[in-house]
Structure 1
């Protein structure tokens, strides 16, 4: 292998960045389409975003939330696109794009929380899972559950409170793992 061949090969960090960027393409495209009504414009902004991300690759800290970082770059590319197109008749205002971006971020947060809930519920034991199912899916009263399992209502309330607390802690930890800077 000569020296020229070695220069053409990406470093391990470059390969990792490219893998993150490729994995993020669908989400970035969806995000940009949420902010721009025109598919062609969204595709152009996605391309500009990819170029900017590649140029800023050294600014990304491995182990942090690549999705959030790349969406922020995409957000500013959309803003730039809108600023450049303000002379056209139908264009979303900057305020409208900010509002749509906030909604998209809230939607993603809810999706992350639902995913975390599913993960955390998978770790709950059978009896506790049945208790949660009866109370929150079937809508059974504390009294009905108490009669069914032969425990005092106060014991059922305490058990549910502990389960909710454990689930909340688990969900918060899981969501925090996806947050920027973690």
Structure 2
């Protein structure tokens, strides 16, 4: 298989592979890292692939092993899904829910883009560290309580924007 064909197949299935990885990994950064590492392994083992229609199952096997390797490295940091569940998720066929998830993610990303950088930082702060909002408050000379109130209002705006973007009533 040549470089062009491999790249075409990988790009065609990248979103599905990312979906499998996201179901098994804690962050999108982890998904990016594992997908990059998986693509390198796939590239090195491309001679194993015989036909285009074998690409996705073959890629999922490689991805699964890379996910497990990454999870072993993180196992001291967080509670993660057990290996059997990762295997089940990786083997699962895509569902209509996956398309809805992609639409929601796209809507959230679009709506987040409408906020200022300061508001984006505040909206994402609770998902980065446990004390992120308190740190932001201390740096800005404000109380954590006032920032949590602002965060609540921003979340409501984000929620309404996403619902409108998805064609749902607010």
Hey, what's the Cα distance between the residues in 2 that align with 1:105 and 1:43?
21
CA RMSD of aligned residues (A): 2.3
Unaligned runs of 5+ in 2: 97-170
Matching of residue 33 in structure 1 with residue 25 in structure 2: no
2:84 is aligned, of 78, 95, 98, to 95
Q: Pick closer, same or farther for the CA change 1:55–1:65 going to 2, 3 Å.
A: same
Out of 46, 62, 65, the position equivalent to 1:76 is 65
1:95-114 equivalent positions in 2, closer than 5 A: 95-102=84-91, 104-105=92-93, 107=95
Q: For the residues of structure 1 that align with 2:53 and 2:14, how far apart are their CA atoms?
A: 17
| Deviation for aligned residue 1:19 | 1.1
- Tell me: CA distance 1:96–1:62, structure 2 relative to 1, closer, same or farther (3 Å): closer
Structure with bigger RCO (C-alpha 8 Å, 6+ apart): 1
Question: 2-side partners of 1:41 and 1:63: how far apart?
Answer: 27
| Pair member with larger Rg | 1
How big is each residue's C-alpha offset from its partner over 1:74-105, in whole Å with a ceiling of 9 and x where there is no partner? Answer: 11110111112221132222123123334x23
Q: Partner residue of 1:57?
A: 46
Distance 1:66-1:86 versus aligned 2 partners, 3 A rule: same
Query: Which position in structure 1 is the counterpart of 2:155?
Result: none
Choose from 23, 30, 52 the match for 2:12: 23
Q: Do the aligned partners of 2:34 and 2:63 also contact (CA within 8 Å) in 1?
A: yes
Shift of 1:65: 1.9
CA change 1:97–1:63 in 2 (3 A) is closer
Given that 2:16 and 2:94 are in contact with CA atoms closer than 8 Å, whether structure 1 keeps it comes out as no
Tell whether 2:3 aligns with 1:14. Answer: yes
Q: TM-score, normalised by structure 1?
A: 0.47
Partners of 1:33 and 1:39 within 8 A in 2: yes
Q: TM-score with structure 2 length normalisation?
A: 0.50
Aligned residues: 97
Matches within 5 A, 1:94-173: 94-102=83-91, 104-105=92-93, 107=95
Corresponding residue to 1:85 among 68, 74, 80: 74
Between the aligned partners of 1:52 and 1:68, the Cα distance in structure 2 is 15
